[in-house]
Amino acid sequence: MVNKITILVVDDITINRVLLKNFWGHEKNYEIIEARTGEAALEILNERKDIDLILLDVIMPGMSGIELLARLKKLDAFMHIPVIVNTQSDEHGYEEEALRLGADDFIYKPYIKGIVKKRVENVLKKSAYDRERTDELTGIYTLAAFYSQTKKMLDMDPETEYAILQINIVKFKVINELFGVIMGDEILIRLAQMLKQAVGTEGTYGRMEADHFVCCIPISKMAKPSEFSAIMEEGTAELENKYGLTIHGGIYIARDRTLPVTAMCDRAVMACRNTNNNMVKRYSYYDEEEGERYLKEQLLIRDMKKALAKGQFYIEMQPIFDTKTKMPVSAEALVRWMHPEKGFISPGVFIPLFERSGLISRLDAYVWEEVCRVLARFKKEGVPLCPVSVNASRVDFCESDLLYRINTLTEKYGLEKKLLKVEVTESAYTQNPQEIIKQVVDLRKEGYDVLMDDFGSGYSSLNTLRELPVNILKIDMKFMNQLEDSRRAASIVLCIVKMAKMLGMKTVAEGVETKNQVEFLRNIGCDSIQGYFFSRPIKPEELQKMLETYYKNAGDEKEEDKVGILVVDDQRMARMTLKDALGKEYRYFEAANGEQALEILHENAFAIDLVITDVVMPRMDGITLLQEIKANPVFMGIPVVVVTASEGSADEFHALEMGATELIRKPFDFHVVKRRIKNVLKIAENEWLKEEVWNMKQNEAIRQ
């Protein structure tokens, strides 16, 4: 159905109104409305919002046509309605005044049908054209009109240097939420009027979209002092002070006239991005190097959309090893991109780019399905299975169907939920905490492990751990780089591991590359290690071979699986006697004095469950060793049994006061020694079990 064109005829003489109405009497797509006076016309305009054109007589009783025209052109609601003024051929004085006030055309009486209809048709066409070029809210150019008018201006004036200035209101959505859409529209209108006044007739200006505006002006107008700068600064300050908003801008100097105006505006927009979250730097100039980088990013975004369909992405898996057994116990899936022209593209390049563009969710979904497909194949072929963790971005956690999507995949490939772990970064939590907490709780209840990735990378807070019910912490690799040189970094990692244990969480250290790092992490009780020291990221086929090799003889008892006891005595015979008394069920480490014992502890604390030390020894005696052990956070949890030949109670009292678990006297009674050591180990095991039970209860509380 064709929309009707509505014409309002305003004339105090009935025959004139009837005559004009009859010109369109048989045309169904026209509706003619009559008003006898200016006052009546205003009432109709206030009631009807669909008036397309006004035919207005100049001379009328009461409010004249000129007075009505002047009023209409001052009112935002009516100023865009085209007006054709009707008058006698001898009333030329009115014509000049009407045109000055904004009339679109003139028709002289007596009316000639063909001329009247043609003039109306022309004005309506021009009005429609103007509406396409004029932003409905602000009355300035639309973006398309700005492009065309700016190109004409630049072509006509090649000698003048021009600049493109793009301005926008920071977080304008918040303004709409706080003050309402009507107030938001008023702010946009004020900003457009400010821009129109500042540019004047020496440039072009328009509304790009929402709260984004643009203008093109001679560079000379931007210099201080200038009328443009004064108006912009004064107007911006007024808006910011009144509404508590912030206005930023980006500037591109249009020296390359071969560029389309669209590209010039894009560069101004890029420059404006440099001012984001900067309350001091309000305006920024376009940087060529940054522009090149931006263009490359846009090309990658374009290529990514077809790369998934063409199989350019693939996954690798980096094994994660148990700190004590050195067995692979899980893996992390990592996405890779082999571009047919650009070759291998680093994830450090394309992942942040896809996160910013919102495409990361599609890439994540691809990785999740690939991992499930690989695990299903392993299961079918009888390969030993280990859980694989996959990354979920902030975008994924903001989608209400995250759990449904992951459940769909595990069900589709027949996988137990414990085989798929989900990683979330702390930075994602800071963006939308309540939604992410809900998603993590749902995932945990369903049986999925959830890891907090990059813990300690800059967004860490105890509040995060308190609220977000993850059950595995991945310690950021930045700490590993400083572990051997920075005592503070080592202390922080130690605290993270201890805190995680208290909260019932497992720990994984990322980026582990040296033997010293491995030994330190074992000694402090970190559960798992991921890094190049054990394995680089490998293809699924290589992971398959690794799992088959490692687990081939997994059932055989190994020396490192036994309870470890460090025996410290300067007499070799005394050490041998004690080992004979305890039997072959333990794994033994030996030291001739306290200094040697500390060296062994630093290298093997992860494997030592008990220390038995003589009191009297050269270089460092047993009591001093006990003090050193209890003062070191890494060793302090290891029980210590003190051996003495003294009959008095002084050594016993001193040792127990310093934290010894038990005291044994020489000469040894084999049965008594063996029984006491078993009791000490049992007490230590019970303490460990209490901690594990508490951790299990914490995890069970999450699932409920």
Strand 212-218 vs strand 247-253: parallel, antiparallel, or unpaired? unpaired
Planar angle of CA 81, 87, 92, nearest 5 degrees: 105
CB atoms within 10 A of CB 309: 7
Looking at the DSSP bridge assignments, the partners of residue 690 are: none
Residue 558 has pLDDT above 80, yes or no: no
Would you state the pLDDT for residue 283?
81
- Which segment, 285-289, 339-343, 527-531, 681-685, is predicted with the most confidence on average? 527-531
Would you state the pLDDT for residue 536?
94
d(CA 347, CA 50): 55
642, 624 Cβ separation under 8 angstroms: no
Alpha helices in 313-472 (DSSP H): 347-357, 360-381, 394-398, 402-412, 426-431, 433-446, 462-467
Would you state the pLDDT for residue 1?
34
Cβ density class 488-507: b for 16+ within 10 Å, e for less:
ebbebbbebbbebbeebbbb
State the sign of the Cα–Cα–Cα–Cα dihedral 549, 551, 555, 559: positive
Q: What is the mean pLDDT of the chain?
A: 84
d(CA 32, CA 8): 6
Would you state the pLDDT for residue 314?
93
407-447 pLDDT, tens digit per residue, is 999 999 999 999 999 998 766 666 667 788 888 899 999 99
d(CA 83, CA 67): 13
DSSP run (H or E) holding 614: strand 610-614
- CATH class, 312-550 region: alpha beta
What's 203's DSSP letter? S
Would you state the pLDDT for residue 129?
64
Nearest in space to 46 (alpha carbons), one of 72, 67, 85, 65: 72
Domain 143-286 has CATH 3.30.70.270: yes
d(CA 664, CA 339): 69
Please confirm whether the linkage preceding 667 is cis (ω < 30° from 0).
Answer: yes
What's 347's DSSP letter? H
d(CA 285, CA 18): 62
d(CA 525, CA 501): 9
152-164 pLDDT, tens digit per residue, is 899 888 889 999 9
Domain locations in the chain? 5-133, 143-286, 312-550, 559-690
229-280 pLDDT, tens digit per residue, is 888 888 888 888 887 788 888 889 888 888 889 889 988 888 887 765 555 5
Strand 283-285 vs strand 328-339: parallel, antiparallel, or unpaired? unpaired
Mean pLDDT over residues 281-296, rounded? Answer: 74
Would you state the pLDDT for residue 407?
95
Mean pLDDT over residues 630-653, rounded? Answer: 80
Phi, psi dihedrals of residue 83, rounded to the nearest 5°: -125, 125
Mean pLDDT over residues 507-534, rounded? Answer: 89
d(CA 420, CA 364): 14
Strand 472-475 vs strand 450-455: parallel, antiparallel, or unpaired? parallel
CB neighbours of 241 closer than 8 A, spacing ≥ 6?
none
Residue 551 has pLDDT above 50, yes or no: yes
Would you state the pLDDT for residue 685?
66
Nearest in space to 300 (alpha carbons), one of 348, 333, 345, 254: 345
d(CA 9, CA 111): 13
CATH fold label, 559-690: Rossmann fold (3.40.50)
Stated pTM of the model: 0.58
Fold equal for 5-133 and 559-690: yes
Residue 92 has pLDDT above 70, yes or no: no
CB neighbours of 683 closer than 8 A, spacing ≥ 6?
639, 661
Residue 177 has pLDDT above 90, yes or no: no
Q: Which amino acid is at 62?
A: G
Q: How far is CA 240 from CA 53, 137, 381, in A?
A: 39, 21, 66
492-502 pLDDT, tens digit per residue, is 888 888 888 88
Would you state the pLDDT for residue 35?
95
Please indicate whether residue 496 or residue 321 has the higher confidence score (pLDDT).
321
118-127 pLDDT, tens digit per residue, is 999 888 887 7
Residue 369 has pLDDT above 90, yes or no: yes
What's 423's DSSP letter? E
Looking at the DSSP bridge assignments, the partners of residue 168 are: 212, 248
CB atoms within 10 A of CB 588: 18
Mean pLDDT over residues 628-634, rounded? Answer: 82
Per-residue pLDDT band for 683 (boundaries 50, 70, 90) equals: confident
- Which segment, 214-218, 430-434, 461-465, 700-704, is predicted with the most confidence on average? 214-218
Would you state the pLDDT for residue 291?
66
Phi, psi dihedrals of residue 675, rounded to the nearest 5°: -65, -40
Residue 90 has pLDDT above 70, yes or no: no
Per-residue pLDDT band for 2 (boundaries 50, 70, 90) equals: very low
Residue 355 has pLDDT above 60, yes or no: yes
Would you state the pLDDT for residue 200?
86
- CATH class, 5-133 region: alpha beta
Would you state the pLDDT for residue 299?
79
Would you state the pLDDT for residue 430?
65
Per-residue pLDDT band for 67 (boundaries 50, 70, 90) equals: very high
Alpha helices in 218-359 (DSSP H): 219-222, 227-243, 261-273, 288-307, 347-357
d(CA 617, CA 625): 10
What percentage of residues in the chain have a pLDDT greater than 90? 31
Mean pLDDT over residues 94-104, rounded? Answer: 85
d(CA 585, CA 563): 8
d(CA 106, CA 116): 10
d(CA 531, CA 536): 7
